[in-house]
Amino acid sequence: MGPSVRHHFSRIVRSALLKILFASFLLPVFFNSLSAQTPSRTINIKVAFDEEFQFYSKWRAILKRVISSSSRKFEKHFGIKFNVTDYENWESDDSLKSVYGLINDLRKKVLPKDCDIVVGFSGQWTRRDDISGAAIYLRNYAVVKRMSSEKVMSLVLTHELCHLFGAIDLNEKGSIMDMKIVGRDFDAFTTRLVLLNRNRNFIPHIFPLERDKWDKVITLYKERKRLERKEVDLNVMLATFYIEKKEYDPAIAECLEFLESYPNSTEIHNLLGIAFRRKGELERALEEYRKVLSLQPAIPEIRFNMGIALTKLGRLEEAIIEYKRAIELKADYAKAFSNLAAVYLDLDKPDLAIQFTRKAIAIYPRMPKALSTMGEAFLLKNDLDRAESVSIRALQFAPSLSVPHNNLGSVYLHRNDMDRAIAEYQTALAKNPQFPKAYHNLGRVYLLKGSTDLAIAAFIKAIDLKPDYSKAYSNLGSAYLQKGKVEEAVDACQKAVELKQDYALAYSNLGYAFLGKGMYEEAKSSAARAAELDPGLPEAYNLLGFLHEREEQFGEAYTEYKKAFELDPEDIKTHLNLANLYFKKTQLEKSAYHYKKVLDQNPQFASAHNNLALIFFYQKDYPRAWAHLKTAERLGAQVHPGFKEELKKKLIR
């Protein structure tokens, strides 16, 4: 119900016709002159007609006259023309009992495609409920029922089109928006609303009105409400705009006030659910959505909103079901496709995420959130070029978004461009300071750069914003381990595996933390569990190899290192472990090869320089040995003084 749906019309058409003859509600002159000074705007309409409407003779001619008459009124007063660009047959459901059911049926079966709005004409009798039409401000659909008088039907259509421009049902005799007996004139209040909404957009995933006009519209509704004319649609529209402004308590108050008179309003229960959801009261939100479904189960937005609430509750499989139901009810529901993709991304299913973002973008190519999700999915697949491309494209359409900057930060992190990665993560946080993933990623970069204190602070901030952030706990454990805070490292990693019991990397990090405490059996058990959960995790095999090496089981150690190397030939830890193992076994050429690989990725690795100095010493390449030894010293390595003196003697000789 509400301005979007609740539209009462003449109880008796004959009475309405008499009112048309005698009503003379005149508007101030400046409203008409304003439209004359403004360039005309054309709104493209798709017209749908059901089989019952076609039973009437000359129905096509009737449609053209009705639409033309309404268009002339809008053009005269507001400079808005309606242009029919497409006609489509609509097989309406004969079991429907109200105009509300008709409009949802229309939305399911007739898609706008290249049109701005869809107007359905129905010849169904439905029931004698005094409601001759319906329209949805946020959805770009309207329905008009067949009536015996073309003039009245044209006025009904005009009334419904006004709803698409923010107008509401009024207690205003003679007004086109009068809820009791249809008038023929635009009252001053309606005129001001339509003019404010004149340039509204018709893109379903974007709020219709520009942000700079919200307060003006709210002021108009509030001024009208003070007249106390029992125009309850004011509650609906005020709640709608308060929600968009993120003022949830006033929105809830408007909804509750409306429900005192109309407890079964699906529109208001939906708005109330949205307000509760955005306040974080997710169970109360689901309760409101279920009330709507008990009254009208075929509204796609309810399924969509349930999907959002279930996602926030971590009930991802249930959320998938609801998003798919929303799509079944509305095949071009781009936002549902986009949100479904985001859920699959949370489930680490990037291929499905890409599949559904592509469907969203096929409907609306300029959909930045879908592009952002696609960028994250390409990152999971390590397709850095495409991740970068779609993230940049998302920012072109919506520069205020934070997620694309987070994506770009991860692209640059993968390319080892740390400073650029930090800049992108910081930009993401400047745009959204409540973005836990960006804090987590910033912590990862700091950890790789050796800025351990900054990394710890970033991980803690991520956890403050998202207390169940298992990845942040796991990396926090690694950061504590680098600082030598072994107890804190164990606690953080144990928290990570408590939150996500199948989190292989957390078990691997826990194993390294146990290693730091000298708890070798616990370390081996954690590493084995990590390898079991994720056989493609090099870190687990590196830890198992190190534990075998510690026990001088060199063959077993080599087997584990080789597994890690086959999984990731560029992993620096694997190269270091193999280099150390070959050094112990005096296979100096192989050892030198892997130390050089370590230095290719991190030229500041002091111990690698120190060990290469030893290798070149044994190979009697004293100048290269000396160069690596001096570099190791410069980087802070404690070089053995006896070795340094011996190397000097060799160089002198």
* 36-77 tens-digit pLDDT: 456 789 999 999 999 989 887 888 899 999 999 999 999 999
| pLDDT (tens digit per residue) in 521-543 | 999 999 999 999 999 999 999 99
Report pLDDT for 55. 84
pLDDT 10s digits, 327-349: 999 999 999 999 999 999 999 99
Dihedral sign computed on CA atoms, order 617, 621, 625, 626: positive
Full DSSP string of 433-456: TT-HHHHHHHHHHHHHHT-HHHHH
pTM: 0.78
- In the chain, where are the structural domains located? 1-203, 604-653
Confidence label for 20 from pLDDT (cuts 50, 70 and 90): very low
Residue 30 has pLDDT above 80, yes or no: no
With b for 16 or more beta-carbon neighbours within 10 A and e for fewer, the 618-638 pattern comes to eeeebeebbebbebbbeeebe
Give mean pLDDT, residues 160-189: 94
CA dist 69 and 20 (Å) reads 15
Return d(Cα 359, Cα 346) in angstroms, integer: 18
Q: What pLDDT is attached to residue 374?
A: 98
Nearest to 376 by CA among 397, 352, 400, 407: 407
Beta-carbon count within 10 A of 181 CB: 19
Alpha-carbon distance of 205 to 334, in angstroms, equals 7
Instruction: Name every residue whose Cβ is closer than 8 Å to that of residue 215 and which is 6 or more positions away in sequence.
Output: none
pLDDT at 139 over 90: no
The 3-state DSSP class for residue 16 equals helix
Write out pLDDT tens, residues 565-578. Answer: 999 999 999 999 99
Return mean pLDDT, the chain.
Answer: 91
Angstrom distance (rounded) from CA 306 to CA 313: 11
Structure tokens at 31: 């409203």
- SS3 readout for 168-185: CCECCCCECCECCCCCCE
pLDDT tens digits, 279-327: 999 999 999 999 999 998 889 999 999 999 999 999 999 999 999 999 9
Q: Work out the average pLDDT over 541-553.
A: 95
Q: Which two tokens stand for residue 137?
A: 């401000």
Q: What pLDDT, in 10s, does the model give residues 361-397?
A: 999 998 999 999 999 999 999 999 999 999 999 999 9
Q: Could you tell me which CATH number the domain at 1-203 has? A: 3.40.390.10
